[in-house]
Amino acid sequence: MDYSKYETVIGLEVHAQLLTESKLFCSDSAAFGGAPNTHISPITMAHPGTLPRMNKKAAEYAIKLGLACHCAIEKDNYFARKNYFYPDLPKGYQVSQHTAPICNGGYVRITTDAGTRDIKLNRIHLEEDAGKLLHDQDPSYSYVDLNRAGVPLVEIVSEPDMHTSEEAYQYLTELRRLVRYLGVCDGNMEEGSMRCDANISIRLKGATTLGTKVEVKNMNSIRNVKRAIELEVKRQVELLETGGTIVQETRSFDAATGTSFSMRSKEEANDYRYFPEPDLAPFHLSDDFINAIRATLPALPEELIQKYITQYNLPEYDARVICDDKATADYFEALIATTSQYKAAANWLLGPVKSYLNDKGADITAFPLPPATLAKLIALVDSGKVSFSIASSRILPEMISDPAEPLEIATRLNLIQDNNADNIAPIIDEVLAKYPDKVAAYRGGKKGLLALFVGEVMKASKGKADPRLTNELLAEKLKG
């Protein structure tokens, strides 16, 4: 089977639930959870005579995301009816901006092993969510929960501009990071607040026309989107290579078995009979309104990464890991506001602090020490009074359980580092006398043995010997 002669073309449609308190066209709660059919009203239920009213905050959030994605903001907007029947769609149609998106064009920048590139967007538009069918409540019937019906969504539609599952993975990772930084969506795919459909086709390398696309649905994690794309590409190549024909269809991905199955033939846009929503007036966005939203944009990941690399001289890896999560970046920002030891601050955050959080299965918001307190511990290490090892293994746990000053804890536990050469020199002599063969090997060229001697001195001094001074004294004595 010759996979190498084909090029994969991928476009992603991502639905993100907006973090508004109420639904898109009524005051019903948009909160996740709640007993079935408790976040509803006659408007959500589409009772005759009820009229929708636009949620201004939803429009603000859509614009915010559009600006972050470098989109052109459409000033004159209207909603349309997208007609199709589904049991969890009370009105029998969905109110959407599909025909007139609030955000046009734009891009999302991604980084893979192949380098950095911009994934082009087609549009971002507002629409209402449907309800949810529950198939596991009864052996004979499916139940309908309308709590989610009417919750505001943005649909982020990329161009068919990705060519590998890894690009799709990085695109979704970056998009989720963006919505979380902006505070417009929690990005939780497991709870369905961010959902992705993948349009996948293949064509011979060098071809300019797109192949027949297949849409894959029901993927509840970014990793499963990657798996589903790889599966579908393999299926399409094998189909063509064995003389088959790819048909335009919608398929469902089963994460448990790693397989997919056909759901239905794909509808075309005219099947939905779009027409302007008569119960909602068109709305105009002024320059002042858009600029006011632009002014609220936080520093976004790429901007912070560049700042950490260029201004604070952090390695790119450190900068990217810190910026993976907005809460971690916020903590780091507060930390470096109280210390100029930028690399040390990053080391603490990505080392001892991260280890503590991993052990607790928590994120940075659960870390008990405020940034200013951690900065005092960093300053104590920088002063040479304690080593990083002692500070992280002995003092940090004590500070977490006892909110005392780090110097006070170090003094009480007798951890203050000894930087008196007269005290350290005899310990060094004992260590070197203990390992004459290693001393000879060091002097014979095995300079890596210095770490062994330092470790033995630190052990003999119960960690109190100043490592820098220990290294200097050892190097001098080993000249022999």
Residue 266 has pLDDT above 70, yes or no: no
- pLDDT confidence of residue 330: 96
Average pLDDT taken over every residue of the chain:
91
Residue 270 has pLDDT above 70, yes or no: no
**CA–CA distances in Å: residue 305 to residues 273, 300, 323:** 46, 9, 7
Residue 15 has pLDDT above 90, yes or no: yes
- pLDDT confidence of residue 149: 96
Residue 471 has pLDDT above 80, yes or no: no
Residue 301 has pLDDT above 70, yes or no: yes
- pLDDT confidence of residue 35: 94
- pLDDT confidence of residue 265: 76
Residue 173 φ/ψ, nearest 5 degrees: -60, -45
Vertex 111, ends 105 and 113: CA angle to 5°?
140
Residue 6 has pLDDT above 80, yes or no: yes
Q: Output 319-322 pairs: Cβ under 8 A, ≥24 positions apart.
A: 321/350, 322/346, 322/349, 322/350
% of the chain residues with pLDDT over 70: 97
Query: What is the helix (H) or strand (E) element at residue 203, kind and residue range?
Result: strand 194-204
Residue 462 φ/ψ, nearest 5 degrees: 55, 35
Residue 473 has pLDDT above 90, yes or no: no
213-263 residue pLDDT tens: 999 998 889 999 999 999 999 999 999 989 899 999 999 999 889 889 888
Q: What is the mean pLDDT of residues 406-414?
A: 88
98-151 residue pLDDT tens: 889 999 999 999 999 999 999 999 999 999 999 999 988 899 999 999 999 999
Residue 22 has pLDDT above 80, yes or no: yes
Residues 331/373, Cβ–Cβ less than 8 Å: no
Tokens of 189: 């795919």
- pLDDT confidence of residue 269: 58
- pLDDT confidence of residue 27: 97
Range scoring the smallest mean pLDDT among 53-62, 153-162, 232-241, 467-476: 467-476
Tokens of 31: 């909160």
342-401 residue pLDDT tens: 999 999 999 999 999 999 999 999 999 999 999 999 999 998 888 888 899 999 999 998
Q: What is the mean pLDDT of residues 178-190?
A: 94
Residue 419 has pLDDT above 80, yes or no: no
Residue 433 has pLDDT above 80, yes or no: no
Range scoring the smallest mean pLDDT among 57-66, 148-157, 438-447: 438-447
CA pair distance 98, 377, nearest whole angstrom: 54
Q: Residue 275 CB: number of other CB atoms within 10 A?
A: 12
Start-to-end C-alpha separation, the chain: 67
- pLDDT confidence of residue 438: 73
- pLDDT confidence of residue 466: 73
Tokens of 71: 């989109």
Residue 422 has pLDDT above 80, yes or no: no
Residue 432 has pLDDT above 90, yes or no: no
CA pair distance 129, 88, nearest whole angstrom: 10
Top-confidence residue, 190 or 461: 190
**CA–CA distances in Å: residue 99 to residues 11, 215, 271, 273:** 18, 20, 14, 11
- pLDDT confidence of residue 461: 76
Residues 39/29, Cβ–Cβ less than 8 Å: yes
Top-confidence residue, 474 or 20: 20
**For the chain, how many residues are written?**
480
% of the chain residues with pLDDT over 90: 71
